[in-house]
Structure 1
Amino acid sequence: MSEFLFRHINKFVSIDHSQYQAILPFFEEQQLEKKEVVIEANTKCVKLFFVEKGCLHSSFIDTAGMEKTVKFAIEGWWITDFMAFNNQQLTEFKTQAVEASSVYSITYSAYSDLLHQHPNLERYFRKIWEIAYGASIIRMKYVFEYSKEEMFNRFRENFPEFVERVPQYMLATFLGLTPEYLSKIRAKKLS
């Protein structure tokens, strides 16, 4: 396994290479193809994913049968249905690779064992949960505070990598827009 996860953990807690080697067996390295589903909706959420390379998204199907993206994860981000994972419940969301991706996954059981055997990693994962929660609050602020056009512009300023990498229809549903409206906003910005 690469050093990417090691460096990411060390941004939040200090571990040495010896501890890193001890925690690696808790994870499974996976190569995902574009559009590969790693968590199906209405199944027990038993895995958490760290993106080493690529992009994943979580989505649901609304009552009109339209797919709505609720979150993305790129390099250095974690993704799952955090509430369903922590409570070992069914998830309402599908998690899928947006592009060919390299991820580390950990099952809930392995995650519990990891934290029991390496208690300093509880701080690391607490920080990850805090960041994920904070990001969801910021997204809600965007929805309530900004016009649709302002919301897109703020998102583009703060997360330009998503605007370039993610299919427009996914980005549109994530921002609560139609793909057609997002296309108009982008065309307006280019002219």
Structure 2
Amino acid sequence: MSEQLYTHLNKYISVEAHDFKKINSYFKPKRVLKKEIVLEAGEFCQHLYFVEKGCLQQYFITDKGTERTVQFAIENWWMTDFLSYQNKTRTDFYIQAVENTRLLVIDRQDQEQLLQEFPILERYFRMVYQIAYGSSLMKMKYLFNFSKEELYFHFTEHFPEFAQRVPQYLIASFLGLTPEYVSEIRAKKRS
């Protein structure tokens, strides 16, 4: 049983231990190694991933062949391509482990059954999705409002859990910067 998921659910809703045993049975544990691909562009996204330990990145590849990271997920975060997952369409994204990662995985059909059996989880997922959506809007605001240098320092100061774990080239990708520019910014700050 995942104590971590149980604790996370109870941050937003109230779930009894006996109910959680049944809830937990809908999820399958999965371990992925660093750099292992969980989802590839062109596939149908059929799973929702809860990170118990580790880190995932979601990215796409531009027409010029550049990787652009759109989000990360660390412990207690969810990740999927929500449009592909919901609409049963092919994804444009990749999901890859940044480090060795332990996941809980649920597919769309099992999630629907879970939500029917435990309607209170609709509230939980709504709250989690609202937070994620709000975070996406704030990222857009920062991208439009900050200089590249301000953007980098804002990210590293406000999200040290990522800055300390995620390689600089992935942070650069997430912020729309080049790894070389990030190196210049860091060198300038040290001098």
Q: TM-score range by the shorter chain?
A: over 0.9
Equivalent AA in structure 1 for residue 21 of structure 2: Q
Equivalent AA in structure 2 for residue 43 of structure 1: E
Question: Secondary structure, in 3 states, of the residue corresponding to 1:26?
Answer: coil
Percent identity, aligned pairs only? 51
1:46 paired with 2:46, answer yes
Per-residue deviation, 1:156: 1.1
Question: After TM superposition, where is structure 1 displaced by more than 4 Å over at least 4 residues in a row?
Answer: none
For 1:13 and 1:79, locate their aligned partners in 2 and report how far apart those are by CA, in whole Å: 20
Per-residue deviation, 1:85: 1.2
For 1:108 and 1:85, locate their aligned partners in 2 and report how far apart those are by CA, in whole Å: 7
> TM-score when scaled to structure 2?
0.97
Deviates more, 1:78-87 or 1:144-153: 78-87
Per-residue deviation, 1:185: 1.1
Q: Which residue of 1 aligns with 2:91?
A: 91
Q: Which residue of 1 aligns with 2:151?
A: 151
Per-residue deviation, 1:165: 0.8
For 2:16 and 2:182, locate their aligned partners in 1 and report how far apart those are by CA, in whole Å: 46
1:130 paired with 2:130, answer yes
> TM-score when scaled to structure 1?
0.97
For 2:38 and 2:93, locate their aligned partners in 1 and report how far apart those are by CA, in whole Å: 11
Structure 1 unaligned residues grouped into runs of 5+: none
Equivalent AA in structure 2 for residue 30 of structure 1: K
**Aligned length in residues:** 191
For 1:110 and 1:10, locate their aligned partners in 2 and report how far apart those are by CA, in whole Å: 21
For 2:142 and 2:59, locate their aligned partners in 1 and report how far apart those are by CA, in whole Å: 19
Q: Which residue of 2 aligns with 1:115?
A: 115
Any idea what the Cα deviations from partners look like across 1:152-180, whole Å, max 9, x if unmatched? 11111211111111111111011000000
Question: Secondary structure, in 3 states, of the residue corresponding to 1:165?
Answer: coil
Per-residue deviation, 1:189: 2.1
Per-residue deviation, 1:190: 2.6
